[in-house]
């Protein structure tokens, strides 16, 4: 390919709306073009990268006994009605009707289609296990697409589905796919990707892992323990705190009397910080209220948690089994914004105008057994001191709702070793159990003639997001530094002073020779300055660069340098170039073999 | 791949709703599964076939200097509003709104997206010409999907777009793509595909060709002249008839007086056939009325044509510039169903209740200068004889609206040589001119600083339809006969009596050895009868079949046979198998090289 014919513009300026570097570099380098919010067209360099990623994925999924299939993008709504997700999934699922009025959806994931595909095939035990995958366009109507290819609405995904007659068999396949994923990420140039326990979210099921590239550009928070190796997505990480410093009120060993619930005037004090400053206490001595409303009917959910902790909304959603949003406190709700406390609410709601249902009260387990806390009195400018949860809120039930914290206690080893890192989720694997087979009435008959629901696993990788993640992991201020395995081309040949007939002829000959040898070459034959040529080459990020110039030509040489390591530069006699380039390609590829 | 692990069911019964053989065979062979009307999932055999077709297409498009890109499936409606097609294209274009209320469409073709991709890149002449393509899912909400993969709603398509600064340059690219298409179809096993002139339809533009596989299963009618080689789709074929047998009424050479327009009673005579029988005349002596209504406002269009000819609705739609449907004649329309004639209508409409606009009257050019015709009198049970078109309808304007007919006059050589064949359109190419660049304000500046609209071409191939077409062209009653280049596997290895340990061991070893040699093998290791094995093998249509059986094993041989030519059967010593299989693959592949 000659660079002079490559479609797409490259430019220096960082577009204003880019919050991550891969987004900016891939726009600046002519990899993609904006179409609509969260929707892009791929230009040739990106299409070549994603094509190579797809090839690696196919090889590894085939090696894991996966069979390639293809599902439609447009699916009948009836599939999702059967599974129940037509109602439980929010507006990310794009619903529409076709010309005949039939309700349809755009596939955002294909569990239902997978069950429908093999419902009859999988009717007898002897056909199990089986694993199949597709590489196909998906649409997820995200509320907030961001960060270029990291979070889009339309994307290409490899999604795989496996079917099993036993948990052991599911786990064996899960491990096989886990290994395949490690190999895929290593071959794509990011062996540093780690798998972390995750929340199964709308997929359902029992166990799931996310594959995370740790990078500040990530939008996920990952909880890691460098001591024991514990790894979990924040959404799934258990929050462990030390027990209450006081004894429980009903304990036989209790010697001190419990403090009394005492009203204190706190004019204009609305936040935990203000309260701590006003009373000279720490946030851990406060009982904080966080208010949500159910999406379904806007009914209130008030969650009480230790003042120094934050709410993990995924845990809350999972417990409630439905979607929520941050609460907006209205006049007649009976809730007093800034002064909400459990003692007053447990004693009975004042000021509720009857239009609002009584709020659901939930307690984080960090409050269990705590005494002497400060909380709101549910009246303007009033708080209580001396809150003793089990005395003042006798019916409270406790769950883990808190986010793990930096320096917090590791659920694995019990030490104060937790660190929080940012990460991009580049893949995920789920043990779905029988959720979909049960809902969609897929059964098999075992050797004894007894019917069972098969167990399912599912396994996803977003192709574009993986490309962007590799760019996040491997770039400098001038552009991406693509690993040889997914680089758009293997070699970038620059003819400096291509108006010099001898340089031009040498570069032309080299271009032809390399192509004949099966090397993928991008040839910059333009009559532009070396500066423009090199900055374009940096933006295109091709690993091996060859430079033909008047000076080199006189020496009968071409300069070879690496995009990732400019110190690795040498002059190579023209007649050795093909050999040396092939050696370098082999060495760079081998270095990425897992 | 072991057949015992291949997902998908094969069965003997032809599904009831299959009107073409490829549909039935691809369902029976476990190639695909119905999801919704015109929407299928691909099982592994079909995905392997389409994957190979995609590879051939990529190679040929790359060789034609095409650059691969990828457009979104979901496009903003604004693209289609810019081009004007948001209003002109009917309900095949699936329109919906996203969660934010933005109007979107599902891409059924990507001219608008192509212009948007390169509108800035193509701002200067030096960047021209360029050609790019994608292989991507499309959705076209067809009113009547049919014939399996021949006419679906969701499909994978290779669509390419080229941009040019001159008509010569566009034509050069058009020819290059035409050759690439011939190579693609030849390599896919159907070199017999022909290109025919076609109607540009909703794409617009000046010149277009369709690539047609002639087969009775096709839904297109192709007009061919075996004498001069004239080829056109029925929609685009000119209809030529001999001039009127009578002289024109105003001709100086006219000697006979014109017949008078005479009312005749024709009780219960509604059709041309009835009229001919009643009056003892031929259909060519009748002036037939065909009634349509505009989709936009249901206003009437009445088309008069010689009684023995049929209306080519595409020609009518093109002339009107809008969509129509067969007319439903209502009480107050002033039209008398079965008795509509031009003389009465030209004289003035009786019985129109004023709610209906006056109908548009159109005349096929076969009526021009005709005298002595029979037509309806626009009153119940009455016709006229002696209709002289230019006397009785002096304002008539004539166009070519008629369908070409078998045995009709060839527009190429003027002889009565036309034949009509059925065909499947497996590809199309269009010279679009400046239709899209003008509408979407894409301009380039030439060397003199003058702005111009670039010319465009576009080039499409439906992948699934091509697979089905190859199946139509190559099958027998037992299943498809896939060409080696797109066959799901190259070799089908059957172990007859695989419960025989020695046969089983021999077949296992052969399977491993062939795979190591890079041969794609489907290995039937099931313990089923030879009959079941062979009928499955026939349904899977793999070109080379190897049969390991107890008898062959004793002779140290394996039997090799061809799916397409069972007479070509020979016994091959086990240690020569890999060599002989590779020779056969090479020979079969070479035979398909264009």
pLDDT tens column, A221-272:
888 888 888 888 888 888 888 776 544 445 545 567 888 888 898 888 888 9
Is A44 within 8 Å of B137 when comparing Cβ atoms?
no
Disruptive mutation site among A36, A521, A527 for chain B (greatest number of B CBs within 10 Å)? A36
Residue B127 lies in a domain: yes
Domain boundary at B411, B444, B473, which? B473
pLDDT confidence of residue A350: 62
Nearest-CB residue to B69 (from A42, A68, A94): A42
Q: Classify B289 as helix, strand or coil.
A: strand
From chain B, the residues in CB contact with A65 under 8 A are: 5
Is A73 within 8 Å of B139 when comparing Cβ atoms?
yes
Is B73 within 8 Å of A154 when comparing Cβ atoms?
yes
- Give pLDDT tens digits for A181-231: 999 999 999 999 998 887 666 555 578 899 999 998 888 888 888 888 888
Sheet containing B287-294: order of strands:
B324-326, B287-294, B300-306, B360-364, B398-399
Query: What value does the mean pLDDT of chain A take?
Result: 90
Q: Report d(CA A382, CA A269) in Å as an integer.
A: 9
From chain B, the residues in CB contact with A134 under 8 A are: 47
Domain containing B468 — which CATH number? 3.30.930.10
Nearest-CB residue to B70 (from A6, A41, A94): A41
pLDDT confidence of residue A53: 98
Nearest of A256, A287, A248 to residue A387 by alpha carbon = A287
Domain containing A337 — which CATH number? 3.90.960.10
Listing DSSP states for B536-554 in one string gives: HHHHHT-SEEEEE-HHHHH
pLDDT confidence of residue A497: 86
State the average pLDDT over residues A152-165. Answer: 96
Nearest-CB residue to B39 (from A5, A74, A143): A74
Closest chain A C-alpha to B320 CA, distance in angstroms: 24
Task: Give the bridge partners for A422, in sequence order.
Answer: A221
The two three-digit tokens of residue B356, written as one number: 């209906």
CB atoms within 10 A of CB B159: 23
From chain B, the residues in CB contact with A127 under 8 A are: 7
| Secondary structure (H, E, C), B466-491 | HHHHHHHHCEECCEECCCCCCCCCCE
Burial label for A62, CB within 10 Å (0-12, 13-18, 19+), is middle
Q: Do B40 and B155 contact (CB within 8 A), yes or no?
A: no
Handedness of CA B51, B57, B63, B68 (dihedral sign): negative
Left if phi > 0, otherwise alpha if psi is -120 to 50, otherwise beta: which for B169?
A: alpha
Q: Report d(CA B200, CA B207) in Å as an integer.
A: 7
Sequence length of chain B is: 594
From chain B, the residues in CB contact with A75 under 8 A are: 35-36, 39
Q: Tell me: do A141 and A172 sit in the same domain.
A: yes
* Residue A264, CA distances (Å) to A340, B191, B367 in order: 14, 91, 102
Domain containing B521 — which CATH number? 3.40.50.800
Q: Tell me: do B73 and B163 sit in the same domain.
A: yes
Domain boundary at B346, B374, B399, which? B399
pLDDT confidence of residue B323: 84
From chain A, the residues in CB contact with B68 under 8 A are: 44, 47-48, 51
Q: Report d(CA A398, CA A305) in Å as an integer.
A: 10
Q: Do A65 and A182 contact (CB within 8 A), yes or no?
A: no
Disruptive mutation site among A78, A99, A164 for chain B (greatest number of B CBs within 10 Å)? A99
Is B113 within 8 Å of A75 when comparing Cβ atoms?
no
Residue B41 lies in a domain: yes
* Residue B517, CA distances (Å) to A434, B238, B476, B582, B583 in order: 41, 56, 31, 9, 12
From chain A, the residues in CB contact with B33 under 8 A are: 116-117
Q: Report d(CA A374, CA A308) in Å as an integer.
A: 13
Q: pLDDT over 70 for what percent of chain A?
A: 95
pLDDT confidence of residue A360: 87
pLDDT confidence of residue A438: 95
Q: Tell me: do B100 and B132 sit in the same domain.
A: yes
* DSSP structure class, residue A567: E
Residue B323 lies in a domain: yes
* DSSP structure class, residue A118: H
Listing DSSP states for A108-149 in one string gives: S--HHHHHHHHTTGGGBGGG--EEEEEEEEEE---SS-BTGG
Closest chain A C-alpha to B96 CA, distance in angstroms: 6
Residue B80 lies in a domain: yes
Is A36 within 8 Å of B5 when comparing Cβ atoms?
no
Domain boundary at B473, B501, B532, which? B473
pLDDT confidence of residue B495: 94
Q: Report d(CA B7, CA A160) in Å as an integer.
A: 14
Q: Tell me: do B61 and B170 sit in the same domain.
A: yes
From chain A, the residues in CB contact with B102 under 8 A are: 36-37
pLDDT confidence of residue A356: 67
State the average pLDDT over residues A107-130. Answer: 96
Disruptive mutation site among B39, B106, B442 for chain A (greatest number of A CBs within 10 Å)? B39
* Residue A232, CA distances (Å) to A413, A471, A581 in order: 14, 24, 42
ipTM of the assembly?
0.87
Q: Do A383 and A324 contact (CB within 8 A), yes or no?
A: no
Q: Report d(CA B284, CA B277) in Å as an integer.
A: 13
Is B42 within 8 Å of A69 when comparing Cβ atoms?
yes
Q: Tell me: do A521 and A452 sit in the same domain.
A: no
Count of A-B CB contacts under 8 Å: 163
Helices (H) and strands (E) in chain A, counts: 16, 31
pLDDT category, A34, cuts 50, 70, 90? Answer: very high
From chain A, the residues in CB contact with B5 under 8 A are: 65, 67, 130
pLDDT confidence of residue B88: 84
pLDDT category, A108, cuts 50, 70, 90? Answer: very high
pLDDT confidence of residue B254: 54
For residue B318, give every residue at least 6 positions away whose Cβ sits within 8 Å of its Cβ, in sequence order, or none. B199
Q: Where are the alpha helices (DSSP H) in A101-166?
A: 111-118
Q: Which residue has the higher pLDDT, B412 or A470?
A: A470
Closest chain A C-alpha to B70 CA, distance in angstroms: 5
Q: Tell me: do B462 and B395 sit in the same domain.
A: no
Nearest-CB residue to B69 (from A47, A94, A134): A47
Q: Do A24 and A18 contact (CB within 8 A), yes or no?
A: yes
Q: Tell me: do A469 and A502 sit in the same domain.
A: no
- CB burial of A168-197 (b: ≥16 within 10 Å; e: otherwise) equals ebbeebbebbbebbbbbbbbbbbeebbbbb
Is B48 within 8 Å of A68 when comparing Cβ atoms?
yes
Is A41 within 8 Å of B117 when comparing Cβ atoms?
yes
Residue with tokens 């050895």: B513
Closest chain A C-alpha to B551 CA, distance in angstroms: 29
Burial label for A137, CB within 10 Å (0-12, 13-18, 19+), is middle
Residue A149 lies in a domain: yes
Closest chain A C-alpha to B572 CA, distance in angstroms: 31
Residue B82 lies in a domain: yes
For residue B587, give every residue at least 6 positions away whose Cβ sits within 8 Å of its Cβ, in sequence order, or none. none
Is A98 within 8 Å of B94 when comparing Cβ atoms?
yes
Is A117 within 8 Å of B70 when comparing Cβ atoms?
no
Residue with tokens 């293809």: A70
Disruptive mutation site among B72, B95, B173, B444 for chain A (greatest number of A CBs within 10 Å)? B72
The two three-digit tokens of residue A440, written as one number: 């969609």
CB atoms within 10 A of CB A368: 15
* DSSP structure class, residue A146: B
Is A47 within 8 Å of B68 when comparing Cβ atoms?
yes
Handedness of CA A511, A514, A515, A519 (dihedral sign): negative
CB atoms within 10 A of CB A247: 16
Phi, psi for B56 (deg, rounded to 5)? -60, -45
- CB burial of A389-413 (b: ≥16 within 10 Å; e: otherwise) equals bbbbbeebeeeebbbbbeebbbbbe
pLDDT confidence of residue B318: 83
Is B36 within 8 Å of A102 when comparing Cβ atoms?
yes
Q: Tell me: do A141 and A285 sit in the same domain.
A: no
From chain B, the residues in CB contact with A7 under 8 A are: 67, 69, 117-118, 121, 127, 130, 132
The two three-digit tokens of residue A399, written as one number: 């769950």
Residue with tokens 């093109």: B318
Residue A511 lies in a domain: yes
Is A141 within 8 Å of B98 when comparing Cβ atoms?
yes
The two three-digit tokens of residue B15, written as one number: 């599904």
State the residue range of the domain holding B116: 11-192+432-473
Q: Do B415 and B369 contact (CB within 8 A), yes or no?
A: no
Largest alpha-carbon pair distance within chain B?
98
Is A130 within 8 Å of B5 when comparing Cβ atoms?
yes
* Residue A177, CA distances (Å) to A131, A538, B472, B560, B576 in order: 10, 35, 39, 37, 37
Q: Tell me: do B543 and B579 sit in the same domain.
A: yes
Q: Domain count for chain B, please give it.
A: 3
Q: Tell me: do B114 and B168 sit in the same domain.
A: yes
Query: What pTM was estimated for this model as a whole?
Result: 0.88
Phi, psi for B306 (deg, rounded to 5)? -60, 140
The two three-digit tokens of residue A586, written as one number: 């082999």
Q: Do B390 and B248 contact (CB within 8 A), yes or no?
A: yes
Is A117 within 8 Å of B41 when comparing Cβ atoms?
yes
pLDDT confidence of residue A457: 96
Q: Report d(CA A478, CA B277) in Å as an integer.
A: 85
Q: Tell me: do B537 and B516 sit in the same domain.
A: yes
| CA B319 to mean position of chain CA atoms | 22
From chain B, the residues in CB contact with A522 under 8 A are: none
From chain A, the residues in CB contact with B139 under 8 A are: 73-74
- Give pLDDT tens digits for A363-410: 999 888 888 889 888 888 888 888 888 888 888 889 999 999 888 898
Q: Report d(CA B387, CA B275) in Å as an integer.
A: 15
Q: Search chain B and give the residue with CA nearest A133.
A: B44
pLDDT category, A295, cuts 50, 70, 90? Answer: confident
Residue with tokens 């549909």: B23
Q: Where are the alpha helices (DSSP H) in A29-166?
A: 44-63, 77-83, 85-88, 111-118
* pLDDT digits (tens), chain B, 594 positions: 999 999 999 998 888 888 899 999 999 999 999 999 999 999 999 999 999 999 999 999 999 999 999 999 999 999 999 999 998 888 889 999 999 899 999 999 999 999 999 999 999 999 999 999 999 999 999 888 888 899 999 999 999 999 999 999 999 999 999 999 999 999 999 999 998 888 666 555 578 899 999 998 888 888 888 888 888 888 888 888 877 654 444 554 556 788 888 889 888 888 898 989 888 899 989 999 999 999 888 889 999 999 999 999 988 988 888 888 999 988 878 888 888 888 777 776 666 666 667 888 899 998 888 888 898 888 889 889 888 888 888 888 899 999 998 888 988 888 898 989 899 999 999 999 999 999 999 999 999 999 999 999 999 999 999 999 999 999 999 999 999 999 999 999 999 987 889 999 999 999 999 999 999 999 999 999 999 999 999 999 999 999 999 998 889 999 999 998 888 899 999 999 999 999 999 999 999 999
Closest chain A C-alpha to B575 CA, distance in angstroms: 27
Nearest of B454, B483, B453 to residue B467 by alpha carbon = B483
Q: Tell me: do A356 and A500 sit in the same domain.
A: no
Is B70 within 8 Å of A50 when comparing Cβ atoms?
yes
Residue B49 lies in a domain: yes
Q: Classify B101 as helix, strand or coil.
A: coil
Q: Search chain B and give the residue with CA nearest A138.
A: B73
Nearest of A469, A7, A396 to residue A194 by alpha carbon = A469
Closest chain B C-alpha to A61 CA, distance in angstroms: 13
* Residue B373, CA distances (Å) to B217, B260, B288, B522 in order: 38, 11, 10, 68
Is B137 within 8 Å of A139 when comparing Cβ atoms?
no
The two three-digit tokens of residue B408, written as one number: 């009709």
């Amino acid at each position: 390919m000659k660079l002079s014919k490559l479609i797409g513009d490259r430019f220096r300026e960082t577009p204003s709306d880019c919050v991550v570097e891969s987004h900016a570099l891939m726009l600046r380098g002519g990899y993609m073009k904006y179409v609509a919010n969260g929707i892009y067209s791929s230009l040739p360099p990106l299409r070549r990268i994603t094509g190579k990623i797809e090839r690696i994925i196919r090889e590894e999924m085939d090696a894991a006994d996966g069979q390639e299939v293809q599902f439609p993008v447009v699916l009948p709504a009836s599939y999702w009605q059967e599974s129940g997700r037509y109602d439980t999934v929010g507006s990310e699922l794009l619903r529409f009707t076709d010309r005949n009025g039939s309700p349809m959806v755009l596939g955002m994931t294909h569990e239902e289609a997978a069950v429908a595909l093999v419902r009859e095939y999988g009717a007898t035990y002897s056909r199990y296990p089986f694993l199949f995958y597709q590489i196909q366009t998906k649409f997820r109507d995200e509320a907030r697409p961001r960060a270029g290819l990291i979070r889009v609405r339309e994307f290409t995904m490899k999604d795989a589905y496996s079917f099993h007659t036993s948990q052991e068999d599911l786990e064996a396949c899960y491990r096989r796919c886990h290994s395949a994923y490690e190999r895929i990420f290593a071959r794509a140039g990011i062996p540093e990707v780690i798998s972390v326990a995750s929340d199964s979210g709308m997929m359902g099921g029992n166990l799931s892992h996310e594959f995370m590239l740790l990078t500040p550009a990530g939008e996920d928070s990952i909880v890691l323990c460098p001591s024991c190796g514990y790894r979990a997505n924040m959404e799934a990480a258990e929050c462990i705190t030390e027990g209450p410093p006081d004894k429980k009120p009903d304990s036989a060993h209790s010697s001190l009397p419990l403090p009394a619930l005492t009203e204190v005037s706190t004019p204009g004090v609305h936040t935990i910080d203000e309260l701590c400053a006003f009373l000279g206490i720490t946030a851990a001595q406060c009982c904080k209220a966080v208010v949500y409303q159910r999406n379904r009917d806007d009914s209130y959910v008030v969650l009480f948690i230790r003042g120094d902790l934050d709410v993990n909304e995924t845990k809350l959603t999972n417990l409630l089994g439905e979607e929520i949003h941050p609460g907006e406190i209205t006049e007649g709700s009976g809730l007093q914004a800034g002064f909400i406390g459990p003692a007053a609410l447990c004693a009975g709601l004042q000021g509720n105008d009857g239009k609002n249902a009584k709020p659901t009260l939930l307690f984080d387990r960090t409050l269990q057994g705590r005494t002497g806390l400060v909380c709101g009195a549910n009246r303007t400018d009033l708080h209580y001191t001396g809150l003793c949860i089990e005395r003042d809120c006798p019916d409270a039930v406790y769950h883990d709702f808190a986010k793990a914290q930096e320096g917090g206690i590791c659920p694995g080893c019990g030490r104060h070793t937790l660190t929080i890192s940012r990460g991009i989720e580049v893949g995920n694997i789920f043990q779905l159990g029988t959720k979909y087979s049960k809902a969609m009435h897929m059964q098999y008959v075992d050797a004894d003639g007894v019917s069972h629901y098969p167990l399912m696993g599912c396994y996803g990788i977003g192709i574009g997001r993986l490309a962007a993640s590799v760019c996040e992991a491997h770039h400098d201020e001038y552009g991406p530094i693509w690993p040889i395995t997914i680089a758009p081309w293997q070699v970038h040949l620059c003819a400096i002073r291509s108006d010099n007939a001898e340089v031009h002829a040498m570069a032309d000959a080299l271009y032809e020779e390399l192509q004949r040898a099966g090397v993928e070459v991008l040839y910059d034959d333009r009559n532009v300055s070396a500066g423009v040529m090199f900055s374009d080459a940096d933006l295109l990020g091709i690993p091996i660069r060859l430079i033909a110039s008047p000076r080199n030509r006189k020496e009968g040489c071409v300069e070879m340098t690496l995009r990732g390591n400019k110190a690795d530069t040498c002059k190579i006699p023209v007649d050795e170039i093909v050999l040396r380039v092939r050696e370098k390609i082999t060495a760079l590829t081998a270095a990425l073999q897992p």
